[in-house]
Amino acid sequence: MPTPVLMPALSPTMEEGTLAKWHVKKGDTVSAGDVIAEIETDKATMEVEAVDEGRIARILVEEGTEGVPVNKPIAVLLEEGESEDALEGYDPSGDAPASASSKEAGGKGEKSPAEEKNPEPKKPEPKATSTRKEPVPDTGGKAPPAPETEKGERVFASPLARRIAAQQGIDLAAISGSGPRGRIVKADIEGAPKGAAKKPAAQTSDATASGPMPSIDPRAFYDKDSYEEVPLDGMRKTIARRLTQSMQEIPHFYLTIDCELDELLVARKKLNEEAGEGVKLSVNDFLIRAAALALMKVPDANVSFAGNALLKHKSADIGIAVALDGGLITPIIRGAQKKGLAEISEEVKSLAARARDKKLKPAEYEGGSFSISNLGMFGIKHFTGVINPPQAAILAVGKGEERPVVKNGKLEIANVMTVTMSCDHRAIDGALGAQFLEAFKSFVEYPARMLL
């Protein structure tokens, strides 16, 4: 039976992407795990692997097509030995995780052999966990929507695997996938226990998180000849949506503190003079380590708000804002509290370079427990950052400069840097944020503490 190749969700937040390049053409034979295409998201370019074996029967989306929605069919596979006659009357969109309106189209396509023989399993299930048995729905030859685990997490499975599981009464949530990124494929279904009782889907609210409400259209205030309209690319759309969501949903508050940099600058100079070739520590490298150690010293600030709970992170995963053409991205230094300055410096340079080339993997820029945004190199003295969910705080770093300070009743000159911490008030209170900044300041002003 024909099997659609769907536009994959390369990250939990991905909604659409650009099909940048095909690595296969019509008639090519592919196996599970073969690279078949390249997809550009708002953050990176990723390779797409086949999740089923077969022959490419149709290319549905051409190279360079932008705005391809997740789960839209982009190609069609035929099984080995299957002729193109099987494509007659076949609608690949019916095999995508579909909307409810697709049910009416179920009878248009031909039924599969398995469906003809066993349209609806009637044998009692051997070990149902409830007194009421849920019948296997008639799929009309099409793959049912992707199932979810008890925690509401999506179970990733190929359309063919979902279709076979629906026909044979197999609970996909109980199967471990062997395909790319743990996806369940046809081979995983073979030999799986049949007739396992399927649990009813959890009730969900019809109200889903939506984008910001339309604001006043600024075009109404200007003559058409007075401006040039530049369409938003995928990155700018994502930035607009996510940061609007952050400001609407997260109650931000801000804490500001000044840090003296004199000892840090002396330590940096000495270390760079003694370091090996290719090692050049930046002030930002020190700040990353200082933030990581401060999070370990004040672990209650290393959290994410999860609705009915706080997630207390065991590691300090520090995101670093990197400016790109037309946007920004925040690659993450994982386990920064365990890494020395040289290792942090090398990793930052590598992540920043690959970020600008759009070569980062989603795991390298998603998640994290804290972020740092540094605009000091542009001469900015003070600013506030917007929290990047699911994190609960971001530190905005200003320019280090000579300022007059009072020490022991005397006026002196010191190199001073202003930092402002944006906090999610649902997770971090004022006193807790102040404790974090106090710890951060102590590491910055006396860098030797970072060695303890």
Q: Is 335 helix (H, G, I), strand (E, B) or coil?
A: coil
Query: Which residues are CB-neighbours of 248 under 8 A, at least 6 positions away?
Result: 212
Q: Give the closest residue to 144 by CA, choosing from 179, 109, 94.
A: 94
Q: How far apart are CA 386 and CA 403, in angstroms?
A: 27
Q: How far apart are CA 48 and CA 55, in angstroms?
A: 16
* C-beta of residue 294 within 8 angstroms of C-beta of residue 435: no
Q: How far apart are the first and last CA of the chain?
A: 64
Q: Give the closest residue to 29 by CA, choosing from 81, 98, 69, 71.
A: 81
Burial of 424 (0-12, 13-18, 19+ CB in 10 A): buried
Find tokens 């550009």 and name the residue. 40
* C-beta of residue 422 within 8 angstroms of C-beta of residue 396: yes
Active site residues: 425
430-445 helix and 283-297 helix, angle to the nearest 10 degrees: 130
Q: Phi and psi (nearest 5°) for 186?
A: -55, -40
Distances (CA, A) of 61 to 75, 136, 159: 7, 33, 18
Letter for the amino acid at 438?
E
Pick left, alpha or beta for residue 402 (phi over 0 → left; psi -120 to 50 → alpha; otherwise beta): beta
Q: How far apart are CA 427 and CA 306, in angstroms?
A: 9
Q: Which two tokens stand for residue 31?
A: 């196996």
